[in-house]
A = this chain, B = another copy of it.
Amino acid sequence: MGKKRKTKTETTSTGVSSTPFTDALRAGEGFVLADVDQRSTPQFDGDKAAGKEALAAADDELDDLQERLYAESRAGGTRRVLLVIQGMDTSGKGGIMRHVVGSVDPQGVDLTAFKAPTAEERSHPFLWRIRKALPGPGMIGVFDRSHYEDVLVVRVHDLVPPAQWKRRYATINDFEQGLVEDGVTLVKVMLHISPEEQKERLQERLDRPDKHWKYNPGDLDERAHWDAYQEAYQAVFDRCSTAHAPWFVVPADRKWYARLAVQQLLLEHLRGLDLQWPSADFDVEGEKKRLATL
């Protein structure tokens, strides 16, 4: 997998890379979702064509870093990455899966799309199905929706009593703290679109017969709760954008920018791991001699 290349690494004392997209898009102290311009393109001043070029240009480095992460696990390493993608309907989660995650070797990716929980899943604590889907050592796990649905759609519709969903913020923070201690690098991303942009994207799904299968009348019912969802997301950033697992909010009205930004966030976190090729756990010269005789 992948060509050999030199990896640039800039790490802070915490091991987390301190680089442009990570800094610019982090939902830090006092972050206000309503202040984010969904059409903006932080840390990138090119146009769509330049953005697509930049996305393609970073493929090799992403490949290389993913392969090193995977190789490390073969030598006994336990580190892994978990990319969590959240966003309103039509915010472009599928496009991230296809164009960012899809550029990575599928052997190193473990993708899970979380739908409304099944009866069995509902009979367990909300993190049960999440734990089952965690990536193994060396893998890049990707969650298309996640445990955050349990404080988003569940909160907006009071699918459980408020006292119950209110407890979940702290439960999630504890859970994620445990993951980080266990060698998981979390990259939590919200794709942030405007209601106007969602309207256009839903309109397109209705206008094109080859897009009808993607349209669900329930999407319109959810659209009617737009403000409640924005409030629920704000609460997520207030409560769960922690030092060990911060949230990143990506303006997503421009699909090309959102893809570039998620790719760069992933890259910056991978660089921060300072991944090296593992050394051989066998006698290289001895094996060369054996091979020569066979």
Number of copies: 2
Is A34 in contact with chain B by the CB < 8 A criterion? no
Once the chains bind, are B98 and A217 in contact (CB under 8 Å)?
no
Interface string of A80-104 (1 = CB under 8 A from B): 0000000000000010011001101
In the bound complex, residues from chain B placing their C-beta under 8 Å from that of A206 are: 284, 287-288, 291
- Among A106-114, A123-131, A237-245, the one that faces the other chain is A106-114
In the complex, 6 of the A-B residue pairs with CB atoms within 8 angstroms, ordered by the A residue number, are A1-B94, A102-B105, A106-B109, A107-B111, A199-B291, A209-B280
In the bound complex, residues from chain B placing their C-beta under 8 Å from that of A106 are: 97-98, 101-102, 106, 109, 111
CB-contacts of A238-294 with B (<8 A): 277-280, 282, 284, 287-288, 290-291, 294
Is A39 in contact with chain B by the CB < 8 A criterion? no
In the bound complex, residues from chain B placing their C-beta under 8 Å from that of A284 are: 206, 212
Once the chains bind, are B107 and A71 in contact (CB under 8 Å)?
no
Counting chain A residues whose Cβ lies within 8 A of the other chain, the interface size class is 35 or more
A273 to chain B, nearest CB (A): 16
Is A175 in contact with chain B by the CB < 8 A criterion? no
Is A224 in contact with chain B by the CB < 8 A criterion? yes
The residue among A71, A106, A144, A202 with the most chain B CB atoms within 10 A of its own CB is A106
Once the chains bind, are B212 and A279 in contact (CB under 8 Å)?
yes
- Once the chains are docked, how many angstroms separate the CA of A202 from the CA of B282? 14
Is A223 in contact with chain B by the CB < 8 A criterion? yes
- Once the chains are docked, how many angstroms separate the CA of A199 from the CA of B111? 35
Once the chains bind, are B287 and A213 in contact (CB under 8 Å)?
no
Residues of A within 8 A of B (CB): 1, 4, 71, 74-75, 94, 97-98, 101-102, 104-107, 109, 111, 113, 144, 199, 202-203, 206, 208-210, 212-215, 217, 220, 223-224, 277-280, 282, 284, 287-288, 290-291, 294
- A98-B105, A107-B98 known; A75+B202 contact, CB < 8 A: no
- Once the chains are docked, how many angstroms separate the CA of A105 from the CA of B97? 7
In the bound complex, residues from chain B placing their C-beta under 8 Å from that of A101 are: 106
A219 to chain B, nearest CB (A): 9
Once the chains bind, are A294 and B224 in contact (CB under 8 Å)?
yes
A167 to chain B, nearest CB (A): 32
Once the chains bind, are B291 and A213 in contact (CB under 8 Å)?
no
A274 to chain B, nearest CB (A): 16
In the bound complex, residues from chain B placing their C-beta under 8 Å from that of A282 are: 215, 217
A71 nearest CB neighbor, chain B only: B213
- A102-B105, A220-B290 known; A278+B199 contact, CB < 8 A: no
The residue among A101, A209, A212, A223 with the most chain B CB atoms within 10 A of its own CB is A212
Once the chains bind, are B220 and A1 in contact (CB under 8 Å)?
no
